Structure 1
């Protein structure tokens, strides 16, 4: 299920929470203070010294040393009960370029090329989601095991990782649950104080995202230690992802270090690995449910591995049931599955009904083509129930259950807990002519199977808070003002309508129609989506403080599209044109990447250009606005539409609290982190 990202980076403004107010920030500031004192003792850097890039790989791909850094981080996170972080190409590029810059200049500094901050570098690569964080380190070759002066790459990386984990601020980044993606860069240069001593410089760029990934590494575990080592990874292997219907949903190739990361919607998938050193093909089944999933291939050269249990390791049994098998002893139900995550598989031609058979000790059920009836019996178990063929009845209990009816006219009830119910054509959400609460208590997800279409005007979906569509044209309307709905249309021309809560609507592919309703809603705009009805602009956002986010690959221009009802805008990498249309609104406009044109209305607006050459437009009586990231020499302020303003001499330009204040006729523009000396005629359009 998608996550809600929270802004926590220490830069002026994005979405409210300022990192400097947290306990973690205090620890980080202390670490930075120590680092600053150390840097002050170093001689002047030599910017013209060239760094040698480890492995000489593309900047957005991970080499073997960088993959090792990622694997060490994920080992720490999994041991702490956290989800793994996935590799992200934009973060890899930002991290690699900064490591090369540090190596070239023989320096260790979070302030990089051109005075850039970590956030500047990350956003310059097109990444716009938050939170963000950075760790850096260097390690001279003559200070690492096994002996001074001997270069053992594995030891160099392991020692840097140990240093990060022994620092409270750096360890906090590695074990931050809000970070779900990571970029790694590794480069070799001279030592800051002894240029002849080769030194490894590494950067970790962390971020959060609303997407979920399957991530892992394909390698031949030569030393049989069941952990990745440099030189073991298989680059250019093919990774193909298939959904529960056997359709290919994604393909990728492994990085030079053997790693891969693929964004996926919630669901159950099979990963097929082949090529580049893999003996035959290897398949692994996994489920994405609201967080990243790590799927590794350890012994690629040994050929196809035995099918791994879908969840867990030792003690996870698979028992095949046929008609006539007994689960009772002396009239008492037996715990057949015993310890572990155990699966009951119904053999073809057999039918299973829990009303007549015990299945204590099982956590997973996979039916055949008969009409199975399966009910969970423990509230502490997260059941996985898959009916397959037939008209099945699947009923969860109090855990976070997953119900998949398969083909046929199935009836499914999630019960309490945060359940995921897969809907296929013909499934039933009614009983005796009345709508039933299929989701039950908890935060429940209705996910459509491929080929199915769902319309709430003909089917009840009471008890669900989240919806994930497939390729059809779905019509979904929230029915409870107390719920914060998350609606994802998938493919097709969908209609998604929230209710009174803080809803999130994402049409995805197709020409979608979106309405937020009441509450503080977030609506994702993609190419083809429309905000008009019968030739008239609609109030898409509804009441509340609503956010319009542009999907990657799409561009938004208010001169061709209405965005009534929105108060916040977050663009993508395209060149967006966004202008406020209500003087009563204090707009927050973030252009993201690309060359954007941003303008508020008459309120006190906050404008963030993001990467690219942006133009900030102001008209008469524009109010008291703020630009948080004005780039001198790149961005421009357009005052050509202001009456009575003929030259720069008409403006009052003063400095206030580290910022520049531009005033005219009772209106003002505040440029954050700027000085008056930086402002000149070239920054304006008159």
Structure 2
């Protein structure tokens, strides 16, 4: 049966935690491994886990068990007729995979917390997190699929049934309008009637929750179509990928995604190390605090890395690249770009066009290759350890850094200008002496 809004909210809480386990631990005030016995194999590591996708047989098993617990006012993993959780899941039609399979179950019970509300679901989730065994189960990387069922009797009973069938992976997520502007799905925000389709594959139209789940061959690359106008490429090479559509215009994703048409803005969720690739529109691509690769391609794009050591490439167009925190590599591409390294030891490459390079704090490296045109370094600072890197194709013969300065550098009212001829210039704004520059030049 379709998930309720409350069940969808529980799934969103769980997937948020899986995408950033350390962030959830901070939110909960309970460390990942608190209470786990030393003998427990694997313990919980802080790396992000693939999101879970709702699956029909798991939902059937979870719903049946929650209903039985509510009908009998019994809270137990032992269910109707003495059944265990794996008995119920397999009886519901879940098929064992020849390539590998796994099953699991979490239960939560709440009295006096109400039902079908965000408060109730958050209370259930908090209870599960506080339990070491349940926390460990929720954070297992191997699971890909889930059934979520809440049934209210004399109390509120929640069943989470987990599964893995290794031959398939999922594109899953939720379409919602963020009315309360909290950056997260809330009950009542789901967008219904929107069709999600994998090209030459499965399709699903969202109900009131806004949720969907589409299976595909594991480790494949698929094209996801949304509502007939939006198309994106999704790489399932690392497992399930979450693709949320927010306010009809923003994708929030948990894996490598390429914008094809109908959408121009995408953001990475959690702490996944993943990449975003734009199209020929004015893209806005936003990373997270992990190691990301952002590529704007054509169009006048804005790329914002977030934390982590990232790679940003503007491509064609007049782009703005922001490395933010971390040791980043920024490449402007063709045309006049603006590159901002931010905190960290960044490497800034203007490429073609008249570019402006801002290293930001820490020791940054500014690169000039032959044919790049006129680039301006706006904040070169010897005291921070900034460096220059020059392509030896800019001149003939073998030159030392000191010879490069003496031959090509001139102190002007605008700053030090390195003029290599044929339009190959690098200007160090507000630097009025060549003293000390030779010691900061690298040649490649």
Residue 221 (structure 2) aligned to one of 268, 284, 288? 268
SS in 1 for 2:235: strand
**Which residue is equivalent to 1:165?**
129
Structure number with the higher strand fraction is 2
**Matches of 2:250 and 2:135, distance apart in 1:** 36
**Matches of 2:224 and 2:119, distance apart in 1:** 32
SS in 1 for 2:109: strand
**Matches of 1:126 and 1:90, distance apart in 2:** 5
Find out whether 1:110 has 2:88 as its counterpart. Answer: no
**Matches of 2:226 and 2:83, distance apart in 1:** 40
**Matches of 1:160 and 1:363, distance apart in 2:** 48
Larger radius of gyration: 1
Residue 5 (structure 2) aligned to one of 47, 64, 67? 64
Q: CA shift at 1:88, angstroms?
A: 0.8
SS in 2 for 1:82: coil
SS in 2 for 1:295: strand
**Which residue is equivalent to 2:196?**
239
**Matches of 1:292 and 1:263, distance apart in 2:** 9
Find out whether 1:290 has 2:238 as its counterpart. Answer: yes
Find out whether 1:308 has 2:279 as its counterpart. Answer: no
**Matches of 1:301 and 1:189, distance apart in 2:** 40
Residue 135 (structure 1) aligned to one of 86, 106, 117? 106
**Which residue is equivalent to 2:183?**
226
- Write out per-residue CA displacement over residues 431-477 of structure 1, whole angstroms, 9 at most, x where no aligned residue: xxxxxxxxxxxxxxxxxxxxxxxxxxxxxxxxxxxxxxxxxxxxxxx
- Write out per-residue CA displacement over residues 475-526 of structure 1, whole angstroms, 9 at most, x where no aligned residue: xxxxxxxxxxxxxxxxxxxxxxxxxxxxxxxxxxxxxxxxxxxxxxxxxxxx
Query: Residues 2-151 of structure 1 correspond to what in structure 2 (within 5 A)?
Result: 58=1, 61-80=2-21, 81-129=48-96, 130-140=101-111, 142=112, 144=113
Indicate if the aligned counterparts of 1:339 and 1:361 stay in contact, CA closer than 8 A.
no
Query: Residues 440-455 of structure 1 correspond to what in structure 2 (within 5 A)?
Result: none
**Matches of 2:203 and 2:210, distance apart in 1:** 15
- Write out per-residue CA displacement over residues 141-195 of structure 1, whole angstroms, 9 at most, x where no aligned residue: x3x3xxxxx76711001000000000000001100112111111111111xxxxx
Change (3 A) 1:339 1:110: closer
Find out whether 1:201 has 2:157 as its counterpart. Answer: yes
SS in 1 for 2:159: strand
Q: CA shift at 1:126, angstroms?
A: 1.3
Query: Residues 339-358 of structure 1 correspond to what in structure 2 (within 5 A)?
Result: 340-343=310-313, 345=315
Indicate if the aligned counterparts of 2:115 and 2:156 stay in contact, CA closer than 8 A.
no
**Matches of 1:75 and 1:237, distance apart in 2:** 23
Structure number with the higher helix fraction is 2
Q: CA shift at 1:262, angstroms?
A: 1.1
**Matches of 1:109 and 1:103, distance apart in 2:** 11
Structure scoring higher RCO (CA < 8 A, sep ≥ 6) equals 2
SS in 2 for 1:342: strand
Structure 1, unpaired ranges of 5+: 1-57, 145-149, 191-198, 243-247, 275-279, 322-337, 348-359, 365-686
- Write out per-residue CA displacement over residues 334-382 of structure 1, whole angstroms, 9 at most, x where no aligned residue: xxxx9644346569xxxxxxxxxxxx74699xxxxxxxxxxxxxxxxxx
**Matches of 2:116 and 2:152, distance apart in 1:** 13
Change (3 A) 1:108 1:236: farther
**Which residue is equivalent to 1:213?**
170
**Matches of 1:69 and 1:178, distance apart in 2:** 19
Q: CA shift at 1:131, angstroms?
A: 1.4
Residue 318 (structure 1) aligned to one of 296, 318, 341? 296
**Matches of 1:156 and 1:320, distance apart in 2:** 47
**Matches of 2:265 and 2:197, distance apart in 1:** 16
Q: CA shift at 1:301, angstroms?
A: 8.2
Change (3 A) 1:339 1:131: closer
Change (3 A) 1:164 1:263: same
- Write out per-residue CA displacement over residues 417-440 of structure 1, whole angstroms, 9 at most, x where no aligned residue: xxxxxxxxxxxxxxxxxxxxxxxx
Q: CA shift at 1:109, angstroms?
A: 1.0
Instruction: Normalising by structure 2, report the TM-score.
Output: 0.52
**Matches of 1:151 and 1:109, distance apart in 2:** 19
SS in 2 for 1:131: strand
SS in 2 for 1:208: strand
**Matches of 2:123 and 2:236, distance apart in 1:** 33
Query: Residues 509-524 of structure 1 correspond to what in structure 2 (within 5 A)?
Result: none
Change (3 A) 1:285 1:226: farther
**Which residue is equivalent to 1:664?**
none
Indicate if the aligned counterparts of 2:221 and 2:235 stay in contact, CA closer than 8 A.
yes
Query: Residues 629-648 of structure 1 correspond to what in structure 2 (within 5 A)?
Result: none
- Write out per-residue CA displacement over residues 515-558 of structure 1, whole angstroms, 9 at most, x where no aligned residue: xxxxxxxxxxxxxxxxxxxxxxxxxxxxxxxxxxxxxxxxxxxx
Q: CA shift at 1:300, angstroms?
A: 2.9
Structure 2, unpaired ranges of 5+: 22-47, 252-261, 268-273, 277-284, 288-293, 300-307, 318-328, 334-444
Q: CA shift at 1:241, angstroms?
A: 2.1
Change (3 A) 1:200 1:258: same
RMSD: 3.2
Q: CA shift at 1:93, angstroms?
A: 0.6
- Write out per-residue CA displacement over residues 203-261 of structure 1, whole angstroms, 9 at most, x where no aligned residue: 0001122111111111111111121111111234210223xxxxx43322224422111
Change (3 A) 1:84 1:151: closer
